[in-house]
Structure 1
Amino acid sequence: MVISTSPSSRGGTRNGGRRRATRVVAACCGLLLSAPAVAYAAATPPTAPAQTRYEERGRGTLVSAEKLYTLATPRAVAIELGAAGFEDDTVRHGVVAYRLVYRTVDAHGRPTTASGLLTLPVDGERRLRAVSFAHGTGSHKNDSPSMQRVAFVSAPVIAHAAAGAAGVAPDYLGMGTGPGLHPWMDIPSETTASLDMLRAARAFAPRTGHVLEREVMVTGFSQGASAALGLGRALEAGEDRWFRLGALAPVSGAYDFGGAELPALLAGRLEPKSSVLYAAYTLVAFNRLHHLYDRPGEVFRVPYDSTVEALFDGAHTGDQLMRGTPGTLDELLTEHGRELLARPAGPLAEALGVTDAVCTDWAPRAPVRLYMATGDEQAVTENTEHCQAGLLRNGVDAPVVDLGAVDHFGSRHLGSNVAATSSIVRWFGELRGR
């Protein structure tokens, strides 16, 4: 999760007004990619390592691909990463970026499509190891990697490609060009969208002269940290016949959403506006899938009972979400709404049980590191502590990398994504060299 202010892809860090903006805006003001799109037909892929019939005919089938932009030299990459607030110390290649649209399934298992960002190194090796990056929370469809050029949600994908890997980033269901509403914090659909994006990337890569290796390095930030663990679990369970998990590096996740995050939110331990936005998104998004209430007025106070649900329709910006919600939980929630989050029962308890199992119901065989920031104001650090303890109970010693009191636009939570990116790029490179 991350409902945040992050600069748009062009000049955001240079804008003093942006620096003074409230630091909690739903993943920010996406600047649509302006580079001309070069369409690729979705015909039968050229010769590539064998794919299963399942992948060819269903999930992961490539529908279309567009060339979005090229950062032709390492210097060009470094300049844009720097403008987005990210380090450039691991940049070795230029990068070319594509938006892929592919077939997948929705949260109910029905056929749908989704989009994502694929980044490839210019003059890189023919055989590339994929790095899957799952992004943090956004409220608008454009708050996703394939819709923003080297911005907060796409910079890590660019950084991994600039270091010589294939960066693969799902936009998630209902984000990017995908139809419908986004099923926020729904680990099963985040997993299927991530896995099928990898399959689409593998199908498309030969058109660029590349082949994706079997081993996948998996990372993700905030909401995407749990999504990364879900993808890693699926890969180790053999849900794909080609890809296998190489390493896991989630960052600042809400891994224990029901047991750590929601209690901290209700106790006032998060940044106040973050608490309001996450409480609203939790009730709205989980109600869409699990039916928590019949009428918004059961959980939201007047006047928000008539407006809040529409704010999470994928068409409202972070600024609109900020303006359309109150400053405190007491103004937002009814007594029943607060009680539902404080003592989840029925469908919500069952759904949180699935969400909170990403660190407890499996034992990764691949190396794992958990990244966090001291004093994270959005994802309390107990989440990481509980994840580490859950993995240890299953025999997995996953070290925690404390990034310290890092900062990005006044947020340690956002700062952890920036600080972790270079560290993870280097760690993945070290693992490849072993």
Structure 2
Amino acid sequence: MESNEQAWIDLSLIPRPWHIEITGCEHPWAERPVVVHKTRLDELPADTPNWQRAEAYRLEITEGRPTISAESEPGLAAARRTLRQLTARETVPDLRIADRPAYEWRGLNVDIARHFFGPDELIRVMDIMADVGLNRLHLHLSDDQGWRIEIPGLPELTERSSHTSVGGGPGGYLTRAQMDELARAAEDRGIALIPEVDVPGHTTAALHALPGLNPRNTPDVYEGIEVGISTLTEALPETERFLAAVFEGLGRYGAAGIHIGGDECLLTPPDEFTRLVARAAHHVRKQGHPVIAWQEAAPVLEAGEYVQVWDERQDFAEVAEAAARGVGIIASPATRAYLDMKYTPDDPIGLTWAGTTSVREALEWDPKDLVAGVEPGAIHGVEACIFTETIETFDQLTYMLLPRLAAVAEVAWAGSGIGQWDSFSRRIAVTWRR
């Protein structure tokens, strides 16, 4: 019987499964009916949480005939994903795989504000996500450079602030019908949508569209890439109307959570910042949806909500305090999971404010090491991010995503990539040739 690691390498499975054993010889692969059992998986430990049971599966191949078993549809879908990878080979050994993800939240954040990507491109991104076991598509829908989603009651947002992008290129936005299309496509692939409108900073596009949000002059359309250049103002009556309309308008797509932003608010006084993000959170909570925010907004979050950690240069004390009161941590360290960072300094696209990120660096980290002093169970998930200041085309987007997204996905599914570079590099080389 081969070791787990050697079997992962020989079969080129990504992400690597929890347990695999080779039980017999190789057989030429031919299409055969797959036997499916929806049944309890007794090999899982008794304390396995329900979400993990839901995605766990067993895959057995005996004399070239596959059988998959799982307790629910997400587990069956995960088993089929692994079977598709196996059957890309000419021969497949008899084997037994028992598998389950380490983290429930396995995401990708795609910025469509700096440069716009529409439904067809986002559905293609979802296909890539499904292939590597990711299950949350976080859409960054607004920023200083553009407003990218139709909001009932505030047509000015798309009428005035959706038509350009960084550098003055073309813009665009998602209609409600297109968002509905994305939601259906996501559900078909076992992916939840996470809509984000970032407040109170990153709001020049909103300030340009709605003069009532401005205490002084309405700003021009912004086509640069600086951050920390805008803020909402609490005292203006239009601000509350804006927050209510936006976050209630996102509710249709936010059953798995709505992201309120909260990062890089360099112009917002601290007390006003806290009150503004609390108002945004209020409008999410009253719909019964979880609130998600970047780490700067950790103090306003409550048990059962999520703080997304991105900037390792900051003090994590407030993140640790939030975790202690039951807020889940989503690990998105910029040095590992920000896939808009260049691979090397010589790359023609990408940024370097967090350094460069090779495929190996995207793989070899452990989310449990990100925030000191929190219990391992406080880490709820892992999310890669790709911001599009320098990314204008779908080819550029996929170049920056792949193969690093597969590396981050392995961390999210298997729990850590530390010590796995030799295995992963050999597996990804085979996958890339398929």
Determine if the TM-score, normalized by the shorter chain, exceeds 0.5: no
Q: Which has more radius of gyration?
A: 2
